[in-house]
Structure 1
Amino acid sequence: MPSVFDGTAIGWAIAVVVAVPILLVVLTEVIGLLRRRRSPAVKPLLLLRNWVVPVGGLVGLLVFATRSEDDLVWPRIVATVFGFLVILLLLSALNVALFATAERGTWRERVPTIFVEIGRLLLVVIGLGFLFQQVWGADVEGLITALGVTSIVIGLALQNAAGGIVSGLLVLFEQPFRQGDWIETGGATGRVVEVNWRALHIDTGSGLQIIPNAKLADASFMNLSRPPGPFTAVVTAVFDPGTPPHAVTAVLRQVAEDLPARVPGGEITVTNGGGGAWEVSIPLDSPVNADEARSTFRSWLWYAARRRGLALDKIASDATADRRELEHAVDASARSLHLDETLRDTVIDGAHLERFGAGEVLLRAGSTAGPLSLVVDGRVLFTSPDAEPVGVAAERGEWIGTSTLTREPAATTATALTVTTVLVLPLALADRLLRARPALAAELSADADRRREARPSV
């Protein structure tokens, strides 16, 4: 061991004292440059500057100042700390080189965090064993043998649990889903909120369901978020087999196109399964809207099928009941229609009732052909083409489609706020009423002028 008074030792000590400050200054400048570039290499360089270099310099000074073997306790302690810091530095640099700079889609980016942590732990254990063997002369081989035997015993005792953990780790390494994806497995559908080494956590909307990774490894599941793009919701419907296919296709497609969650421009597919069974594929913006879209579609389809006289679920409407409801609606609207007994029978014979579900469109802006409708029950909101609310919602006794009497395009879109029933007057019937009741014509003209003035200027 060199003495402190040895010329060589003094030279090395002077070199250490001079080199450490210079190296610290250089590292500080490099760290500042990389920090401005937001480089992940800043973290290992900070460890190098703040700990490795100063402790390494201290090790050098203590070693060169040691006079005998009896004075090696403190140098060995400091050397052990220095060696541990070097191990951490190498692991940090390896992490930056392999994973922190990994490009999206590469195998380095797909490696689960737990794999990285396990590998880091093994490297730390191996590095510490080598360090204690070199600095303290420890018998590492005996310790490794004991650990090997112990691990075999533990593995046999916990083979079932260990098998589940290994299966979970394999699922994590493959990464068939990510946090935020929507998956369907085991009768449960939900969004992935957490993925760890033991289990998968999905939010089903009615609670948090925990699915062990080992179960996923042995079963099949569907990732609804891959491939990326619109999610397709499939809805089935059954009509009377005697219904013309073109009529069923038209109503199914129209209802699907009006759904709020539908991707604009997405292709809607209608398939005839035979025997009155139909299947509709609707492109949605997200799987989160699938259940709500299916429910809305089925509700709107019921109203749309009744309006067109189609037997949904092979159940036709009751003509007698419909006639009674029509007579009741006409009697309740007699004052708004300025009816007498003769005109009452005329309206009952020529008009009909239509019902719309909440959110359905009764009249679209820009349409020029359409009947005149009177709100019998419910509320209707009028919006301009740019979706700006116009005036107040129409309620019972108010008119819809007054612009069609003058063959002008509708200035607003009428949307049902609640389940709405309207009395529909075909144009021929409406013209006959207006000729017979000039007061009604004046009211409709005033209503059209009011709606036109309420429309915002573009």
Structure 2
Amino acid sequence: MTTPVLDLLHAIEQASPSSLTLVGVLCGAALLLHILQLRFAGKGAAGALSLFKWLLVLAALRVLEVQVLRDTWATFMMVLHGVVIWLAFRAILHDLYAGVWLARIQKRPPNRILLNLLSFAMTLFLVAYGLRSVLGVDVSSLLTSSAILTAVVGFSMQDTIGSLFSGLLIQTEKPFKIGDWIKVGELEGQVTEVTWRYTKLTTFAGNQVLLPNNAVAKERVVNFTEPFPEVSLVVPVPAPLAAPPVRVKSSLEEVLRKAPLVSKNRAPRVRLAEITLDHALYRLVFYVDDYEDVYAARSEVLSAVWYEFHKQGIEFPMARRRLVTGPRKAPQKHGDLTELLSGVGLLEGMREDELELIVQCAAVRTYPPGASIVEQGQGGTTMFLIAEGEVAVARDGRELTRLGQGDLFGEMALLTGEPRQADVTAVTPVRCLELDREAFRGVMDKNPQLVANVTRVFQEREAQMRQAPRPDGEASAQGLFDRFRRIFW
């Protein structure tokens, strides 16, 4: 009487020494690779070592089956082959593809749903093959007989199955990925995980929310991270009607320029959006590099606006009414500033009341020594008149000249929109008058002499360009005059 154990021992006795030696060498090599795999755990080489290990085990089983056991333990060897093939497939899928190719080379998270789907399909194939080869079960008839049961189960679990297929579609179409900030319906959060059944979000409050994938597929999804991570913010700021727009805009632009969380990749903008009975509404349009900083950036900008308005003497409007019974207060005069403006060639021939209007529509700016007033290449639509102090004008890091009281700079940016051609830095404490394009346009419409002054400025600019070569990229005098005509006429 024979037993499987006796048959195994007899097969080993009949096997050739070379076959047994080969099986031992293959198993020893697989054991060595397993030790190296543990040594390099967490590194890219571990995936390749795992695959080679299971290939060596598979080769050892094949030699053992063909050269040693032959027909002995055939069923057991078939099952063992299937297990090792599944382990080798798992090493290719999880260790090499997900762990090395995606995580280390592509630098992106693996698609867990796709990995699980492929693993399930491989398992199903090996089980079906084993049932057919070992037990002789007809898999096709088994599937046919269970069709009714499948329909009943599918109807009772339609929500769960819907979530599974929605999760597969999300992973296939990739409307968002792990780490993106999204808005699903009215819920905002950062995607931390996407599984078969749900999408996990972490909100600003730190709460974790599990959204069924079929609910995500039905809702309107907004991705704040794609196609670019910068997020646009529009912050309304009310200001009093008495404050000139150039003064308010200049203050708000200064706030946006200094705010650390405002993106430097895209230029912020300030727009006068609305004028009501009791206030003027300005809109600050700027970008934040990361959606996670949206609320912090909004708070930072609004706080800086409060302090800047307080420094400039601009009061926030309040919904109030008051009855004035006393005599009307005479408008404040700025004799020193109007006198300086009268000596500027661009404003030659203007009446005192027109100069006073320019002062009232302008913003008075102060700068400490070393402060940057304008930067080379920077856009702008304002010009500056120095009332007190001295500034240095430099281009490409080389100082060209110095300007003092009564001197004007930045006029070409106001007239033509040309980028600033030089850096202007305060040498001493500086007080200057900043005039914007809107105020200049209003004055020019009332005084034709101003048009003749502007024409003379361009003629002088053309004469200067003939005497000295202009820098690369600087427009000609005629080109600048054409820009002026398009803007003001």
How high is the TM-score relative to the length of structure 1? Answer: 0.57
The secondary structure found in structure 2 opposite 1:38 is helix
Structure 1 residue aligned with 2:214: 214
C-alpha change, 1:22 and 1:409, in structure 2 (3 Å) is farther
Amino acid across the alignment from 1:162: I
Take 2:132 and 2:428, find their aligned partners in 1: how far apart are those partners? 95
The secondary structure found in structure 2 opposite 1:272 is strand
- Is contact 2:367–2:429 with CA below 8 Å preserved after alignment? no
Take 1:265 and 1:61, find their aligned partners in 2: how far apart are those partners? 70
Amino acid across the alignment from 1:281: V
Pairwise CA distance, 1:291: 0.7
Pairwise CA distance, 1:22: 4.6
Identity across matched positions, percent: 20
Structure 2 residue aligned with 1:254: 254
User: Any idea what the Cα deviations from partners look like across 1:173-203, whole Å, max 9, x if unmatched?
Assistant: 3222222222233333332233322223322
The secondary structure found in structure 1 opposite 2:126 is helix
The secondary structure found in structure 1 opposite 2:137 is coil
Pairwise CA distance, 1:227: 2.9
Take 1:182 and 1:109, find their aligned partners in 2: how far apart are those partners? 16
Take 1:364 and 1:165, find their aligned partners in 2: how far apart are those partners? 64
- Is contact 1:44–1:92 with CA below 8 Å preserved after alignment? yes
- Is contact 1:111–1:173 with CA below 8 Å preserved after alignment? no
For structure 1, the residue ranges without an aligned partner over 5 or more in a row are 67-73, 321-361, 372-406, 411-458
The secondary structure found in structure 1 opposite 2:260 is coil
Structure 2 residue aligned with 1:136: 135
Take 2:238 and 2:287, find their aligned partners in 1: how far apart are those partners? 21
Does 2:70 align with 1:64?
yes
Q: Give the alignment of 1:240-319 within 5 angstroms.
A: 240-241=240-241, 243-264=243-264, 266-275=266-275, 276-313=280-317
Does 2:58 align with 1:52?
yes
- Is contact 1:180–1:191 with CA below 8 Å preserved after alignment? yes
Pairwise CA distance, 1:249: 1.3
Take 1:210 and 1:363, find their aligned partners in 2: how far apart are those partners? 53
Q: Give the alignment of 1:31-430 within 5 angstroms.
A: 38=45, 40-49=47-56, 51-60=57-66, 63-64=69-70, 66=72, 74-93=73-92, 99-100=98-99, 102=101, 112-206=111-205, 207-241=207-241, 243-264=243-264, 266-275=266-275, 276-313=280-317, 366-367=370-371
Amino acid across the alignment from 2:316: L
User: Any idea what the Cα deviations from partners look like across 1:59-102, whole Å, max 9, x if unmatched?
Assistant: 34664374xxxxxxx43123312222223324433556755554
C-alpha change, 1:135 and 1:108, in structure 2 (3 Å) is farther
User: Any idea what the Cα deviations from partners look like across 1:105-163, whole Å, max 9, x if unmatched?
Assistant: 99997872122212211221221221232233233333333444432221122223322
- Is contact 1:110–1:173 with CA below 8 Å preserved after alignment? no
C-alpha change, 1:92 and 1:105, in structure 2 (3 Å) is closer
Take 2:12 and 2:104, find their aligned partners in 1: how far apart are those partners? 54
- Is contact 1:192–1:202 with CA below 8 Å preserved after alignment? yes
Take 2:93 and 2:86, find their aligned partners in 1: how far apart are those partners? 11
The secondary structure found in structure 2 opposite 1:283 is strand
Most deviating of 267-276 and 105-114:
105-114
C-alpha change, 1:161 and 1:135, in structure 2 (3 Å) is closer
Amino acid across the alignment from 2:297: A
Pairwise CA distance, 1:366: 2.8
- Is contact 1:237–1:313 with CA below 8 Å preserved after alignment? no
Most deviating of 212-221 and 108-117:
108-117
Pairwise CA distance, 1:315: 6.0
Take 1:65 and 1:163, find their aligned partners in 2: how far apart are those partners? 48
Take 1:108 and 1:293, find their aligned partners in 2: how far apart are those partners? 29
Pairwise CA distance, 1:29: 8.5
- Is contact 2:47–2:99 with CA below 8 Å preserved after alignment? yes
How high is the TM-score relative to the length of structure 2? Answer: 0.54
Work out the number of aligned pairs and report it.
322
Pairwise CA distance, 1:301: 1.7
C-alpha change, 1:29 and 1:196, in structure 2 (3 Å) is closer
For structure 2, the residue ranges without an aligned partner over 5 or more in a row are 1-6, 325-365, 373-385, 389-426, 431-489
C-alpha change, 1:279 and 1:104, in structure 2 (3 Å) is farther
Take 1:42 and 1:370, find their aligned partners in 2: how far apart are those partners? 77
Structure 2 residue aligned with 1:441: none
Amino acid across the alignment from 2:172: F
